[in-house]
Amino acid sequence: MASEGIVVRPPASDEELAKAANFLVRFYRVNEEFDPLYTIVDEAEPVAREMIQRYAEDENSILLVAVSGKRIVGLIHGEVRHNPILRASPLGVLMELYVHPSYRRRGVARRLIEEAAKRLREKGAKAIAAEFPHLNEIAVSFYRDLGFRPLTSVYIKELEEKQAGR
């Protein structure tokens, strides 16, 4: 397989957490192309570092990196969501997946998802879902090829900012 030599595991150091935060920012920058509501804030880098630290510490989250040698080439973050009224609960949800462009089409994303699914199952997940921008047709095709199917639709409406004095 083209992803030979790639190791998928949790970040092993503060330096790897910092690199993972950089990949998180890259993930959101790519998604800006699909919908302007994904436009990131100016202070995205320090915010991403805080988010990555929370992901790494949260018992309901999984945070994995794909590593080639000493280089991080991919990232996945998911979480376990509980809804006790549903038989498919808890549900594992993949929320952020990014592979460096030079490592795409080599099976890295598939490996990240396989390991994430295994770890989410170990946390009790009975199914996994993936969240991504609706207009990202590449992601739609990729997840369908992996056996995912649509489950829910999320519609969004921007709210007008309230004018001062009104």
Domain boundaries, the chain: 6-145
Segment 63-84 mean pLDDT: 95
The pTM for the full model equals: 0.88
Q: In a 3-state reduction of DSSP, which class is residue 107?
A: coil
Other Cβ atoms within 10 Å of 146 Cβ, number: 14
DSSP letters for 138-150: HHHHHHHHTT---
Place of tokens 């992996």: 146
Q: What are phi and psi of 85, to 5 degrees?
A: -85, -15
pLDDT at 166: 57
Place of tokens 């095709």: 141
Cα–Cα distance for residue pair 32/39, rounded to 1 Å: 5
- 125 contacts: CB under 8 Å, gap ≥ 6: 80, 90, 91, 92, 117
Q: Tens of pLDDT along 117-140?
A: 999 999 999 999 999 988 889 999
Cα–Cα distance for residue pair 77/127, rounded to 1 Å: 16
pLDDT at 155: 87
| CA-based torsion, 18, 137, 32, 35: positive or negative | negative
pLDDT at 96: 95
Crossing angle (nearest 10°) for helices 14-32 and 44-57: 120
Which CATH number does the domain 6-145 belong to among 3.40.630.30, 3.30.1490.190, 3.50.30.30, 3.40.30.10?
3.40.630.30
pLDDT at 25 over 70: yes
Q: What are phi and psi of 144, to 5 degrees?
A: -60, -40
Residue pair 24/16 in contact (Cβ under 8 Å)? The answer is no
